[in-house]
Structure 1
């Protein structure tokens, strides 16, 4: 029986996963601050034309697939910072439901 493993060479990018931390000041104004919660290695892949058209039926905004090792607690309301680029996480997929790999479907914010 073969075991599924992630090829470490595919995770060549260092990314930061961020969570929104809303805070309110004494005047009741809400400020949105993104807090770094994890630094991990990842593979970042632009969606190919074929994948884009398949994804279009679900969400035409998806522009990248980000592959990381399984980490519990990653949610679609988080985002990814990669160098000076920001990606909004739109969907989190536990690949093959094995708790080994997460595929994050993202759109790049400009």
Structure 2
């Protein structure tokens, strides 16, 4: 299955949490931008939400992007001012190198 460019019509920002130390050795944490990419952002329907059985994780949407080797589950995604926490990374079934489907939950991470 191939994913067409027209299906990736939303711009999303991928961020990672980093910790740095200042000259005094004090640790500071912040979210830094990794990349802005084209994506498909699809809210889950009530039926998909119930079928997933993910009531604890509260998976609220599915984001699909082209494959990125540097993507990690500890990162977060921003779309239209909404913060999405990554719940997992699901590579495509054929090669695993064309696209990644990312189940996400709407939330807030410190250091916005």
Question: 2:106 maps to what in 1?
Answer: 108
TM norm structure 1? 0.85
TM norm structure 2? 0.83
CA offsets per residue over residues 79-108 of structure 1, 9 Å max, x none? 001131111111000020521110011011
**How large is the RMSD of aligned CA atoms in angstroms?**
1.8
The runs of 4+ residues in structure 1 deviating greater than 3 Å are 57-60
**Distance (whole Å) between structure 2 residues aligned to residue 20 and residue 90 of structure 1:** 15
Q: Is the 8 A contact 2:8 2:65 kept in 1?
A: yes
Question: 1:54 maps to what in 2?
Answer: 51
How many residues are treated as equivalent by the alignment? 106
Question: 2:70 maps to what in 1?
Answer: 73
Question: 1:36 maps to what in 2?
Answer: 33
Question: 2:89 maps to what in 1?
Answer: 92
Greater Cα offset, 56-65 or 76-85: 56-65
Which of 6, 11, 16 lines up with 2:8 in the alignment? Answer: 11
CA offsets per residue over residues 1-46 of structure 1, 9 Å max, x none? xxx2102211110111101111234253x32211101110000001
Using the TM superposition, give the Cα deviation of residue 47 of structure 1 relative to its aligned residue in structure 2, in angstroms.
1.0
Question: Counterpart of 1:75 in 2: which secondary structure?
Answer: coil
**Distance (whole Å) between structure 1 residues aligned to residue 101 and residue 63 of structure 2:** 6
Structure 1 unaligned regions, length at least 5: none
Structure 2 unaligned regions, length at least 5: none
**Distance (whole Å) between structure 1 residues aligned to residue 68 and residue 4 of structure 2:** 17
